[in-house]
Structure 1
Amino acid sequence: MPAKFQSPSPASIHECALIEQLRNKLTDELPDGIPNDLNTDLNLLRWIRGFDANFDKITKNFYTYVESRRAAGFDVSDLPEKFFDLPHIKRFLPYIAASRLNDRLWLDERNAFLFVERAWCQPKELILRREKKQNATKGLVQFIVFFDAATLNLIDYLNPMSAQIKFWQVRSELWQNWYPEMVQKIYLVNPPRFISTLWKVVGIFLKKENLELIEIIGNQKDLQNDLPAWFIPREFAGEFVNDVQPYDETGVSIRRKIVPDDYIKSHDLCQSKGIDQPKPRQKKEELQEISAGAVFVESIILPDDHTKLFWNFTCSTDVEFTIYNKKKRFLYPRLHLFTLKVPEEGILENLTPNSEYFFEFRVNTGYFNARLDYSIYSAL
């Protein structure tokens, strides 16, 4: 059974000392120090608690998060307002039922706001804003999740190698590695009939303490045992009705059905940029063997007049991928990717000619070698 809810306690005297130690370590080891919005006692406290004060793990994950956030352009102060208008996000929004409640539905006694989960939206920046405004003695701001499983097709989750399982594995890793101690409680509503099967799958990806945050709700009225009716959307037997258009009454964007014409196809990116299906310029396309747990790095120097880099790859296993420059500053976030259906492809623009760039492929599995089929090419 899930653990009974307890509000996060303020930092203890010992934790206050750890916060300063961690602040000094991160300031020394991060290229630009700690970004201002992340350099708060409460934010550092959640990393300390989320990683059991293991400073080496914290530093590794914090560095990767900060560099990836910057490379993705997510380090701007108005990200919550602009997120859904970003060009590389907006094109996918018609197909995603994304929560648009932001932090409007706030429960003061829990120091948390509501997030309705039918797809993904990261409210970290909203948490940081709230923490700056509140009394320092209140403790961590968190969010409460209503995970609506009504549209889950259980068949998709029975195959451990399916795209759906891979996707949930990636999401779970991101949550646990980059966003520790942000979720207060997850209420799984409209559970599928064979919830025990799904529960076994979830247990593979989540740490025990995070698994205990999840409570399965068979009767929606039971939500009112923990939460006031005004905080619960009417869809889940509560009273809240969203009136902000064009979202549904629960505050979630209305998703368009995906049809075959919407599927991503290989080399779509090149076609959108008016470039013919590529032939490698710097290196012939080849199959690269990467040992289990090993890293493969390919470098490319842009020609005199080139400012764009394209890449395209498939890999026989999951792979952690990033791009960086000579100073090891990320130009592309470090992401856990899989290529079950179509190749992974992307573009970097406005680069400096005659500069060297590095493409890193890291195989995290300790059991199987990976076979990587890739091409990297440049353009004007």
Structure 2
Amino acid sequence: VVKMYIVNPPGILSLMWKVAKCIMDQKSQSRIEFLFKPEDLLLHLDAHAVPAAFGGTWTDTSGWAEEPEYCCNSAKTIVSIDYPKPHQVWFDNGFKCAPPMIHGTIKSKQTFVVSRTVTKPGTRLVWEFDVNGDVDFDITRTECAGSAQQGKEEPVWPRLTLNCLKMNEQGHLVCKEPGEYRLRFTNSNSTWFVVKLEYAVGLID
């Protein structure tokens, strides 16, 4: 989180914040700011980044937003019928069958890395995995050997903490540039228990 703006907070939240500030470091405090009018967002953000309903110029005409000027949808309860089917990501991305799942374990404070080398822009990187505990998951790209920027690493998928409680994680990424793509699974816990990982990763043009 770079900066979080909380607009028109309820009184109880403002009270909780006064308590939380006593145990929070200065850097974390600076990332959270309370605003009491939606229009105050324009004091901190460009107009094109603020929804029109709150005084900015941003509208969502993609069809996803129920009201374009609000740029969002109403809250919806997710039920089992909304879950993707196991292995569905492979068929959605052109695979004739799902690759076999591979087993692994991740010890406390360690990172498990799965690498795939992409040679052509536009290649799809597809993954599916299941874990029995919290893991931090992200993807980075590293320049291949022989490149002028060999070894330079950049993030291409944000780092998220995940736990597969109801279903496994599935996803894909269109690789815009060649390089070595590294899917990283990090066990940030400090317990003695290992995290069990079952995964499959594939490439398709």
TM-score by length of 1: 0.35
Among 39, 53, 72, the residue aligned to 2:26: 53
Partner of 1:357: 181
8 Å CA contact retained: 2:136, 2:185: yes
8 Å CA contact retained: 1:306, 1:378: no
Deviation of 1:257 after TM superposition, in Å, equals 6.3
Counterpart Cα distance in 1 of 2:130 and 2:199: 6
1:277 aligns with 2:101: no
Residue 362 and residue 129 in structure 1: after superposition, are their counterparts in 2 closer, same or farther (change >3 A)?
farther
Higher helix share: 1
For structure 1, the residue ranges without an aligned partner over 5 or more in a row are 9-47, 63-109, 115-125, 134-244
8 Å CA contact retained: 2:128, 2:168: yes
Counterpart Cα distance in 2 of 1:6 and 1:289: 39
8 Å CA contact retained: 1:306, 1:379: no
SS in 2 for 1:329: strand
Corresponding residue pairs, total: 156
Among 114, 131, 135, the residue aligned to 1:319: 135
For structure 2, the residue ranges without an aligned partner over 5 or more in a row are 1-11, 47-64, 143-151
Deviation of 1:323 after TM superposition, in Å, equals 0.2
Deviation of 1:52 after TM superposition, in Å, equals 1.7
8 Å CA contact retained: 2:121, 2:175: no
Q: Deviations over 1:125-146 (max 9, x none)?
A: x87533358xxxxxxxxxxxxx
1:298 aligns with 2:122: no
Q: Deviations over 1:238-295 (max 9, x none)?
A: xxxxxxx967xxxx84556656443321222223333323326xxxx42111112221
Among 37, 45, 52, the residue aligned to 1:113: 37
Higher strand share: 2
Amino acid at match of 1:374: Y
8 Å CA contact retained: 1:308, 1:351: no
SS in 2 for 1:349: strand
Partner of 2:164: 339
What do you get for the CA RMSD once the two structures are aligned? 3.9
Residue 341 and residue 3 in structure 1: after superposition, are their counterparts in 2 closer, same or farther (change >3 A)?
closer
Partner of 1:264: 84
8 Å CA contact retained: 2:91, 2:98: no
